[in-house]
Structure 1
Amino acid sequence: MIPITSFAGQTVAVFGLGGSGVASCRALKAGGAEVVAGDDSAERLAQAAREGFITADLRTVSWENFAALILTPGVPLTHPRPHWTVEMARKAGIEVIGDIELFCRERRLHAPGAPFIAITGTNGKSTTTALTAHLMREAGFDAQMGGNIGTAILSLAPPAPQRVYVIEMSSYQIDLTPSLDPSVGILLNVTEDHIDRHGSIEHYAEVKERLVVGVPRGGTAIVGVDDDFSTKAARAAEDTGKHVVRVSVQRALDDGVFLDGERIVRGAAGGTAKLVDLNGIGSLRGRHNAQNAACAASAALALGVPFDVVQRGLASFPGLAHRMEQVGQKGEVLFVNDSKGTNADAAARALSSFTNIYWIAGGKPKTGGIESLREFFPRIRKAYLIGEAAQEFSRTLEGVPQEISGTLDEAVPHAARDAAASGGHAVVLLSPACASFDQFPNFEVRGDYFRKLVLALGGVAPVKP
């Protein structure tokens, strides 16, 4: 745990008692602050009270003595309208911040030299975060990984000079971190998402941009420049005097890092130099993972990790569950769990990575469906459609061999049977292009169930990274 001493002797309101909210309460109390905790859930309030925190309906208390409101990222800060706690805090003239802001202040107070890598992007940030932490550990660092990826940042070990923090940040978390100052900031990409919470794609992109603009002089901003919003962010960071490493997997760069075949190279005056080679690394298959690898490798190199250590770390990276996860192989059939592919853009990344695909898709549909995936239809040998979106997807996939499986229980054995009968290398791919909420609580449960069904087939061997 990281005790938060910057509010010692003061009273702080915390709203939202999920994982990060409870971690904030514990850290503030350990640092000498008095905490008044609130939540809309009576069960969460009762649990906080059992831990010894003061709990209250924050609508009924005076805000005059609060020094700050610590807001959980899941609570609206601006759109569709500010949460009532935000309005009360502003009326009282106190700041509204999040747990990563508390970390930033504590780091500056006690270990400003501790390397801090912050990672954001619409897609790929979890894989890049896990890969970056893996590379730093491969180099012998004490790499603390957390943030949006699962472990609340204040549950990590306290800042120390040789301790590296690798933190995934959502746009919500960036919005609550006004003094964000990572040693290395990574912006992977910006595509339309979370508009309900930011009002417009432009505001969403501007929030993302803050992460790389916040890098201090002497640090490194690493920016994927394959979309217009991220290209603008790279210019903004450069205009404020930051060292910017541009990354592309779509084109060569005269000054930057780009994909050349299966090699990641650096372009500069006089030619190119190889950084790392992705050939044969199954856990980093696909152009989207090449971007993740290029950004993670660039971050490790910026912090002095040798090239050979970075290459070794890439080769040993096991990948993340539910993100192009290689569940196993049976004969010449590879089973891939990409349950995190909850929209068409994410599914496109998976579909572009394989040929001879036996595709399991469907769930709770999202706006736009799978019309944008038409260019990948020739790769699909057969589709197995599940959930609420099955009929809609079936119409879009007219001309592609398909069946309405309805559930994973039907889709997995049918896809496995047909892939095995094809007589060549094939992949059974779960990349639903849909949310899971019609049949599963979340994409993790959906992916776990897919994995269980695959392993139940028998004769499925593990796949090495």
Structure 2
Amino acid sequence: MTPVTTFSGKTVALFGLGGSGLVTALALKEGGAHVVACDDNPAKMTEAAAKGIGTGDLRQLDWSKVSALILSPGVPLTHPEPHWSAKLANEAGVEIIGDIELFCRERARIAPDAPFVAITGTNGKSTTTALIAHILREAGRDVQMGGNIGTAILSLEPPSDSRIHVIECSSFQIDLAPSLAPTVGVHLNLSPDHIDRHGTMESYAAIKERLVAKAQQAVIGIDDGLSRAIADTCTAKGVKVTRISIEPMGAEGFFADGTTLVQVTPSDAVAVADLAGIGSLRGSHNAQNAAAAVAVAVALGVSGEKIRSGLYTFPGLPHRMEEVGRIRSTLFINDSKATNADSTEKALKSFDNILWILGGKPKEGGIEPLKEYFPKIRKAYLIGAATEEFAKTLGNGVPYVRSGTLDNAVQQAAADAAAMNGPSVVLLSPACASYDQFPNYEVRGNHFRELVRALPGVEAKGA
């Protein structure tokens, strides 16, 4: 744990006692703060109280004595309207911050030169975070990885000059971290997302820009217009910017030429790694992720040999185009994390001869944007609430069956794959939320993995 000493002896209000919120309350308490924690779920408050954390109704608090409100990133700060706790803090002139900000202040206090890599972007940030951490660990560095990737930042070991923190940051977390100034800040890309929480695309982009605006060095993807603008703005302000792209570029930085990663310097363009054959880094989106990871590793002084070794041994993340098994020439891929069409597009781009398992709780737009990839699909297996909507979209262009459940879909797809000539891919990439049949995409993906491993003759991966 990283004790938060910057509020020692002060009263701090905290709203949101989920995983990171509970850790934050404990870190504040460990650092000497007087914490008054609250949550809409009484069971969460009972759990916190059992751990010695002060709890109470923030509506009854004397806000004149409160130094800060620590807000969970899942709680609205501004849109669609501020949460009632944020309104109380604003009325009292109390700053509202989050756990990333607490880490930044603690780092500034105890180890201001401690290496700190922060990663954001609409897509790919978890894979990039995990890949950076993996390369650095393979190079022998002391690495702590956390943030939005699932491990609360304050549960990690404290910052030190010999320890690198690699932290994924969502827009919600950045919005609550005004002093965020990493050693290396990574911004991958921007596409419409979380507009309900940020109001406009411009506001969303401005929040993302904060992660790189005060970085000692920024690594910025330039494959969309808003991100190119961020790179240009940072350069104009004197930030050292390394640009990355999935297309050849003239600017200094790193780009992907197919599966080859190329470094562009003022005098040369040199191939630094080849992603061919690395199953965990298939597709152009992963080429962007890898280019960002390589740029960070180079900035932190990792040798080319260590970088290549880290890329080749990267196991990937669960539920993100994860290879879970093979039966002869059929590969089974768990892409349960693909909860919308934009995410599923990346998988459809990466494979041919696809037996596609899709469906669940549909999102706006459905699978209409994926029609250009329908020729790659040999058959579709529809599950869950989206079945009829997706059947209508597939129409006569793609053979499909109403499987109903994931269990049926896996059995049907495996049987069809066995009857096919040549290689094929059974792909779970639902383009839907899981909530109609599963509590989350992780449970859905884990169930798919179990179903595949139970098939006769399967060679399981990562068993």
TM-score (norm 1): 0.98
* SS of structure 1 residue aligned to 2:425: strand
1:393 to 390, 394, 400: 390
Give the structure 2 partner of residue 451 of structure 1.
Answer: 449
Alpha carbons 2:243, 2:251 under 8 Å: kept: no
What displacement does 1:261 show? 2.1
What displacement does 1:406 show? 1.1
* SS of structure 2 residue aligned to 1:245: strand
What displacement does 1:91 show? 1.2
Give distance in 1, aligned partners of 2:298 and 2:63. Answer: 47
Amino acid corresponding to residue 160 of structure 2 in structure 1 = A
* SS of structure 2 residue aligned to 1:77: coil
Alpha carbons 1:252, 1:259 under 8 Å: kept: no
Give distance in 1, aligned partners of 2:462 and 2:386. Answer: 34
* SS of structure 2 residue aligned to 1:55: coil
Give distance in 2, aligned partners of 1:459 and 1:106. Answer: 53
Alpha carbons 1:339, 1:443 under 8 Å: kept: yes
Give distance in 2, aligned partners of 1:91 and 1:363. Answer: 42
Amino acid corresponding to residue 85 of structure 1 in structure 2 = S
Give distance in 2, aligned partners of 1:392 and 1:443. Answer: 20
Give distance in 2, aligned partners of 1:369 and 1:121. Answer: 23
What displacement does 1:301 show? 0.9
* SS of structure 2 residue aligned to 1:388: helix
Give distance in 2, aligned partners of 1:50 and 1:382. Answer: 53
The 1:464/1:29 distance shift into structure 2, 3 A limit, reads: closer
Alpha carbons 1:247, 1:291 under 8 Å: kept: yes
Equivalent residue pairs, number: 462
Give the structure 2 partner of residue 128 of structure 1.
Answer: 128
Give the structure 2 partner of residue 436 of structure 1.
Answer: 434
What displacement does 1:60 show? 1.6
Give the structure 2 partner of residue 228 of structure 1.
Answer: 225
Runs of 5+ unmatched residues, structure 1: none
Alpha carbons 1:127, 1:319 under 8 Å: kept: yes
Give the structure 1 partner of residue 4 of structure 2.
Answer: 4
Aligned runs of 1:214-293 on 2, under 5 Å?
214-215=214-215, 219-293=216-290
Aligned runs of 1:59-458 on 2, under 5 Å?
59-215=59-215, 219-398=216-395, 399-458=397-456
What displacement does 1:241 show? 0.6
What displacement does 1:463 show? 4.1
Flag as ranges the 4+ runs of structure 1 deviating above 2 A.
Answer: 250-256, 267-271, 462-465
Give distance in 2, aligned partners of 1:271 and 1:10. Answer: 55
Give distance in 2, aligned partners of 1:445 and 1:129. Answer: 22
What displacement does 1:427 show? 0.5
What displacement does 1:264 show? 0.5
Give distance in 1, aligned partners of 2:220 and 2:367. Answer: 28
What displacement does 1:274 show? 1.0
* SS of structure 1 residue aligned to 2:316: coil
Alpha carbons 1:436, 1:442 under 8 Å: kept: yes
Alpha carbons 2:324, 2:462 under 8 Å: kept: no
What displacement does 1:112 show? 1.2
Give distance in 2, aligned partners of 1:89 and 1:269. Answer: 50
* SS of structure 2 residue aligned to 1:178: coil
Amino acid corresponding to residue 344 of structure 1 in structure 2 = A
CA-atom RMSD, angstroms? Answer: 1.2
* SS of structure 1 residue aligned to 2:380: strand
What displacement does 1:152 show? 0.3
What displacement does 1:201 show? 1.3
Alpha carbons 2:253, 2:295 under 8 Å: kept: no
What displacement does 1:271 show? 4.1
